[in-house]
């Protein structure tokens, strides 16, 4: 800390207009319409947790139907009412509504808003050394647009015709025609409105993240000294800003088709005894537009988690992340490629087969940077000194999921093999492991790791570990068996299998999957208890509980609005100087100059000492330039 | 009452759990003995390794013991090729998965925290990075190469001699239309002509429609190339023939195509599986509404002779619905009757003629 003090005194005049921080303002400005990135992050987190609970519960509901098709769920009538048939079964259309809402909620509300919204908001200013986001007001708007979007989506669950039910990909014509299914009526309208607001929220947030990372890094925080979390959030935001507008366009055209009689996606349809006038549109066009967002979206979901994991694995292995530049390079490469692989979701949709060849090629290329990331994680563990905090456990779990879910992508990305596997449970297993569970684990790891910074207290270690083991084993029990079911050809989104002789097997595996799903969901209540209990009663957190290098741990236990009470610390080194040979501790925070650590400096770092000296002399000059 | 008791019981159990948690923490505080830093850390490394070994063992056992349950026998020419590619990919990925998993979980076990040890500062190695960039790239390139060759063969246009069958998806059933034995051409359609009877939307001004016939089972000849022309009436559907490794969406407003050659008749497959009741089935794999899970279509693969016999025995659509003769232009009516197999002097025909006459009057 000494270093920080030195520089605080060096130029006290640098105090800027952020001193009005603590406890000014009232309840509304401090906790509700707050512009402090840390409060907004917590708002995103709590809302995300709320949605995760709903999305998870929905999955258990439809897993009950799939795992125990004979059982009566009459006992759920008080909750589900008319969605239970007189025979005590789940309504077939409501089954699809559950599947659809589970997908929408998990992908967008939990793993996009809940994950990026929480950690990009919380960590970017703290880790780059900024007082707040570039625009606190836009940041606040971002949350409240998300909130509004959430309210509308939530309301749609309760309307009498049911929420949107055409799958989270809302392919028209099914989603465009209310006569095709009841969920395509008001439910679909609300879905589209909600998603439009969601996109606004996501863009407001994304622009802020990008601007903050580019413009508001503290002195010395060059791009090559950014923690990998920030790199990941930065690229995630870029992907979001470039791809979400396309979903907006797709949704807008769908709204036109639904409400104003246009024919962008509709052609030659005869339904309910009536030939519709629409001609000339193409449902395949929608799929192109949807997946132009939809595929980058899976990277929007997974990249922040990979960033979080990089940071946590390095910290808790007490080793620098292996191949920092390769990690950044692979994120960059994934970001670029994520825009040119979308049609691998569409090999058998009637798209020109030549396109299929191109997208096979591009898709399998993206496996290379992903593989590099896994190898680098494993090498980071090698000869480390691994401390299994709950965050570390979840991070290792993430790497395992990313591996087992990632390799099945090599099957699905290969168009010839995909013919058989497309839209079967093999796909369900693939994406739930590689982006669903992996991102979810990243999110949990992040919460465990940064909880002390968020709330100034520690979460209970033992409960965290119990939570991890049940969830880790539970997730594998849920999704691993699905590979077999998928290879056997079982299609997705089926309410029951009994109509087919071919699919009239695997009742045992389906029962196992459903039981494991219930177990896994139950384990999340351990987490919820731990989370809320620890906010109020957890052990008081030390300043730097994980002995981590990055900048957020130099703030006070409860950072106010503005994050650092005095001068923003200057950064002198990258964030991964763990277990450096010669150093007395096994970590050297980013704020320690090379001039103070001659014993551990590498040759080229000794050369930097001179630069450090020059820089501190040049501060005033630089300030004038601003 | 029962549910109230259950509810109370659940609350009680939760409360007891909470008490145990509280007492555990308080005891820890009272003891005050500063626990060794990171006590109990090793157990997790061990658990990871155990999980890895047990997991891989169960994976290997189930994959071996239940092989016949989850692997569908293949019954088409291209299916044998894509299956081969599937299993090559499986071999490569399972080896990679097993190796990386074992190495990773071994590391978590081997290198779990020891206060007397310091981690090795090992920030990068260009050699390693290049090795594990290049090796996956080469392996993937091989897979891509094989995959694309298969894909290009599968998606190349069907030959002129292929048996054409039209499959139509609608909520929630499939129908098939065959081009008929006389002209072997599918007649024109127009979705605006669809009604309760003319479910294909046959355009009866086209001569080729007259001998088309409808089938509620998909009959296919063994050993002959089949060209499926697929469309949908209302929303997206998807044709899925699991044993033939065939999948293609049915899209309203356009035809999609899939060509393949069945290699095993239904009888062959029954013999192979030792199941006299076996039938090929077709399913829908694109969400299409509440009956999505029930769009079963029976598939029958026969020896070519039996297939031709079956085709010849089918009544044409027009013969089944002679009322629609009225919609045939009068100049073509005789052709229509001959091609559709309606006896020229039949009552229905005269009735239809009379009807047209009355309309034209």
Domain regions of chain B by residue span: 41-112+127-156, 163-354
* Portion of chain B with pLDDT greater than 90, in percent: 74
- The number of helix segments (H) and strand segments (E) in chain B equals 10, 10
- Structure pTM? 0.92
Residues in chain B with CB shorter than 8 Å from the CB of A403 are: 97, 100-101, 104
pLDDT at residue B23 in the model = 84
pLDDT at residue B32 in the model = 64
pLDDT at residue B10 in the model = 86
Q: What is the pLDDT of residues A312-353, one digit of tens each?
A: 999 999 999 999 999 999 999 999 999 999 999 999 999 999
Q: What is the pLDDT of residues B293-320, one digit of tens each?
A: 999 999 999 999 999 999 999 999 999 9
Residue B2, pLDDT > 60, answer: yes
Residue B350 near chain A (CB below 8 Å): no
Residues in chain B with CB shorter than 8 Å from the CB of A399 are: 104
Cβ A407–B96 below 8 Å, yes or no? Answer: yes
Average pLDDT value for residue range A581-590: 90
Which DSSP helix (H) or strand (E) runs through A409?
helix A390-412
Residue A562 lies in a domain: no
Q: What is the pLDDT of residues A390-428, one digit of tens each?
A: 999 999 999 999 999 999 999 999 999 999 999 999 999
* Alpha-carbon span A441 to A434, nearest angstrom: 11
Q: What is the ipTM of this complex?
A: 0.91
pLDDT at residue B353 in the model = 55
For the purposes of burial, counting CB atoms within 10 Å of the CB of A422, is it exposed (0-12), middle (13-18) or buried (19 or more)? buried
Residue A369 belongs to domain with CATH number: 1.20.210.10
Cβ B122–A491 below 8 Å, yes or no? Answer: no
Q: What is the pLDDT of residues A263-315, one digit of tens each?
A: 999 999 999 999 999 999 999 999 999 999 999 999 999 999 999 999 999 99
Residue B12, pLDDT > 50, answer: yes
Residue B281 near chain A (CB below 8 Å): yes
pLDDT bracket for residue A230 (50, 70, 90): very high
pLDDT at residue A296 in the model = 94
Q: What is the pLDDT of residues A501-516, one digit of tens each?
A: 999 889 999 999 999 9
Cβ B72–A488 below 8 Å, yes or no? Answer: yes
Residues in chain B with CB shorter than 8 Å from the CB of A491 are: 240, 283-285
Average pLDDT value for residue range A520-544: 94
Residue B24 near chain A (CB below 8 Å): yes
CB pairs under 8 A between A and B: 330
pLDDT at residue A252 in the model = 94
pLDDT at residue B34 in the model = 58
pLDDT bracket for residue A123 (50, 70, 90): very high
Q: What is the pLDDT of residues B147-187, one digit of tens each?
A: 999 999 999 999 999 999 999 999 999 999 999 888 889 99
pLDDT bracket for residue A611 (50, 70, 90): confident
Strand partners, B175: B168
* Alpha-carbon span A559 to A538, nearest angstrom: 18
- What mean pLDDT is reported for chain A? 91
Residue A79, pLDDT > 90, answer: no
pLDDT at residue A10 in the model = 38
* Portion of chain A with pLDDT greater than 90, in percent: 85
Residues in chain B with CB shorter than 8 Å from the CB of A324 are: 123-124
Residue A623, pLDDT > 70, answer: no
Q: What is the pLDDT of residues A454-488, one digit of tens each?
A: 999 999 999 999 999 999 999 999 999 999 999 99
pLDDT at residue A15 in the model = 43
Chain B: closest CA distance from residue A59 (Å): 17
* Portion of chain A with pLDDT greater than 70, in percent: 94
- Whole-angstrom distance between the N-terminal and C-terminal Cα of chain A? 28
pLDDT at residue A584 in the model = 86
B163-354 adopts what CATH topology?
Immunoglobulin-like (2.60.40)
pLDDT at residue B27 in the model = 81
Residue B347, pLDDT > 60, answer: no
pLDDT at residue A488 in the model = 95
Residue A625, pLDDT > 50, answer: no
Residue A260, pLDDT > 50, answer: yes
Residue B21 near chain A (CB below 8 Å): yes
Domain coverage including residue A445 = 10-537
Token output for B154? 């599968």
Token output for A550? 């990055």
pLDDT at residue A18 in the model = 44
Residues in chain A with CB shorter than 8 Å from the CB of B38 are: 387-388
Average pLDDT value for residue range B91-109: 96
Residue that is written with structure tokens 């022309």 in the block: B229
Residues in chain A with CB shorter than 8 Å from the CB of B24 are: 462
Residue B236 near chain A (CB below 8 Å): yes
pLDDT bracket for residue B348 (50, 70, 90): low
pLDDT at residue B8 in the model = 87
Average pLDDT value for residue range A85-110: 94
Cis-peptide into A65, omega within 30 deg: no
Token output for A412? 């699905």
pLDDT bracket for residue B345 (50, 70, 90): low
pLDDT at residue A16 in the model = 43
Dihedral of alpha carbons B168, B174, B175, B177, sign: positive
Q: What is the pLDDT of residues B192-202, one digit of tens each?
A: 999 999 999 99
Cβ A348–B248 below 8 Å, yes or no? Answer: yes
- CB neighbours (10 Å) of residue B60? 12
Q: What is the pLDDT of residues B193-235, one digit of tens each?
A: 999 999 999 999 999 999 999 999 999 999 999 999 999 999 9
* Alpha-carbon span A285 to A266, nearest angstrom: 10
Residue A626, pLDDT > 70, answer: no
B289: left (phi over 0), alpha (psi -120 to 50) or beta: left
pLDDT at residue A402 in the model = 96
Cβ B55–A414 below 8 Å, yes or no? Answer: no
Which DSSP helix (H) or strand (E) runs through B61?
helix B42-65
Q: How many domains does chain A have?
A: 1
Residue B98 near chain A (CB below 8 Å): no
């Amino acid at each position: 800390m000494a270093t920080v003090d030195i520089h605080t005194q060096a130029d006290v005049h640098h105090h800027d207009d952020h001193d009005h921080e603590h406890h000014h303002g009232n309840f509304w400005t401090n906790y509700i319409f707050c512009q402090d990135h840390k409060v907004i992050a917590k708002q995103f987190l709590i809302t995300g947790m709320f949605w995760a609970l709903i999305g998870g519960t929905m999955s258990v509901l439809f897993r009950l139907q799939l795992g125990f098709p004979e059982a009566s769920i009459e006992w759920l009538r008080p909750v589900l009412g008319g969605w239970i048939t007189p025979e005590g079964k789940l309504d077939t259309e409501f089954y699809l509504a559950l599947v659809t809402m589970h997908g929408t909620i998990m992908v967008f509300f939990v793993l996009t808003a809940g994950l990026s919204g929480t950690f990009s908001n919380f960590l970017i200013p703290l880790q780059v050394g900024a007082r707040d986001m570039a625009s606190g007001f836009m940041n606040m708007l971002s949350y409240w647009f998300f909130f509004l979007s959430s309210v509308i989506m939530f309301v749609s669950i309760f309307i009498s015709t049911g929420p949107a039910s055409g799958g989270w990909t809302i392919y028209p014509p099914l989603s465009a025609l209310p006569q095709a299914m009841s969920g395509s009526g008001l439910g679909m309208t609300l879905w589209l409105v909600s998603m439009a607001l969601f996109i606004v929220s996501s863009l407001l947030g994304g622009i802020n993240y990008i601007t903050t990372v580019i413009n508001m890094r503290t002195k010395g925080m060059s791009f090559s000294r950014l923690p990998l979390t920030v790199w990941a959030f930065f690229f995630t935001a870029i992907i979001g800003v470039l791809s979400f507008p396309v979903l907006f366009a797709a949704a807008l055209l769908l709204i036109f088709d639904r409400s104003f009689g246009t024919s962008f996606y509709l052609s030659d349809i005869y339904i309910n005894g009536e030939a519709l006038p629409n001609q000339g549109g193409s449902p395949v066009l929608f799929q192109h537009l949807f997946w132009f967002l939809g595929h980058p979206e899976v990277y929007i979901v997974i990249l922040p988690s990979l960033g979080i994991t990089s940071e946590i694995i390095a910290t808790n292995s007490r080793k620098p992340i292996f191949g920092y530049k390769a990690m950044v390079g692979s994120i960059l490469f994934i970001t670029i490629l994520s825009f040119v692989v979308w049609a691998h979701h569409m090999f058998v949709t009637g798209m020109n087969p030549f396109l299929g060849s191109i997208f096979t090629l591009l898709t399998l290329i993206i496996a290379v940077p992903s593989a590099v990331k896994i190898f680098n994680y494993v090498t980071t563990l090698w000869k480390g000194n691994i401390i299994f905090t709950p965050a570390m456990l979840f991070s290792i779990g993430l790497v395992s999921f990313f591996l087992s879910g990632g390799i099945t992508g090599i099957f699905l990305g290969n168009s010839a093999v995909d013919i058989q596997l497309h839209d079967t449970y093999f796909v369900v297993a693939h994406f739930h492991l590689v982006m669903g569970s992996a991102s979810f684990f990243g999110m949990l790891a992040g919460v465990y790791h940064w909880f002390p910074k968020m709330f100034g207290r520690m979460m209970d270690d033992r409960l965290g570990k119990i939570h991890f083991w049940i969830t880790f084993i539970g997730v594998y029990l849920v999704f691993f068996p699905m590979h077999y079911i998928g290879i056997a050809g079982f299609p997705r989104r089926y309410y029951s299998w009994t109509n087919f002789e071919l699919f009239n097997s695997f009742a045992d595996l389906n029962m196992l999957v459903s039981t494991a799903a219930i177990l896994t969901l139950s384990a999340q209540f351990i987490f919820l208890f731990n989370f809320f209990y620890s906010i109020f009663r957890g052990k008081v957190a030390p300043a730097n509980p994980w002995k981590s290098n990055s900048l957020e741990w130099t703030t006070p236990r409860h950072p106010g609005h503005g994050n650092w009470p005095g001068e923003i610390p200057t950064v002198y080194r990258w964030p991964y100087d763990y277990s450096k040979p010669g150093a007395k501790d096994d970590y050297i925070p980013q704020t320690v100059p090379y001039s103070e650590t001659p014993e551990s400096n590498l040759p080229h770092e000794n050369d930097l000492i001179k630069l450090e000296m020059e820089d501190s002399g040049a501060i005033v000059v630089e300030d004038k330039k601003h | 009452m029962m549910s109230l008791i259950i509810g109370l019981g659940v609350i009680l159990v939760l409360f007891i759990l909470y008490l145990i948690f509280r007492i555990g923490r308080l005891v820890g505080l009272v003891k005050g003995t500063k626990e060794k830093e990171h006590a109990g850390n090793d157990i997790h490394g061990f658990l990871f390794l155990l999980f890895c070994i047990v997991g891989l063992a169960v994976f290997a056992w189930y994959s071996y013991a239940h092989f016949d349950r989850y692997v569908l026998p293949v019954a088409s020419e291209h299916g044998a090729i894509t299956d081969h590619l599937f299993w090559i990919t499986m071999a490569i990925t399972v080896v990679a998965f097993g190796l990386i998993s074992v190495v990773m979980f071994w590391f978590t076990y081997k290198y779990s925290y020891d206060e007397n040890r310091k981690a090795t500062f090992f920030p990068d190695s260009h050699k390693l990075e290049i090795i594990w960039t290049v090796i996956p790239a080469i392996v993937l390139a091989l897979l891509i190469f094989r995959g694309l060759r298969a894909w290009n063969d599968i998606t190349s246009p069907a030959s002129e001699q292929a048996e054409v069958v039209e499959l139509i998806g609608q909520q929630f059933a499939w129908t098939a239309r065959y081009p008929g034995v006389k002209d072997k051409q599918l007649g024109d359609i127009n979705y605006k002509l669809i009604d309760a009877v003319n479910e294909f939307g046959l355009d009866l001004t086209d001569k080729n429609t007259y001998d088309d016939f409808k089938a509620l089972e998909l009959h296919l000849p063994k050993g002959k190339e089949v060209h499926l022309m697929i469309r949908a009436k209302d929303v997206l559907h998807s044709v899925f023939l699991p044993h033939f490794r065939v999948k293609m969406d049915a899209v309203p407003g356009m035809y999609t195509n899939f060509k393949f050659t069945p290699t095993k008749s239904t009888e062959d497959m029954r013999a192979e599986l030792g199941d006299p009741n076996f039938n090929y089935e077709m399913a829908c794999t694109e969400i299409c509404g509440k009956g999505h899970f029930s769009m079963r279509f029976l598939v029958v693969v026969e020896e070519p002779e039996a297939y031709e016999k079956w085709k010849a025995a089918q009544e044409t659509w027009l013969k089944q619905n002679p009322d629609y003769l009225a919609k045939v232009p009068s100049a073509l009516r005789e052709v229509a009757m001959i091609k559709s197999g309606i006896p020229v002097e039949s009552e229905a025909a005269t009735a239809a003629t009379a009807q047209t006459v009355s309309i034209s009057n």
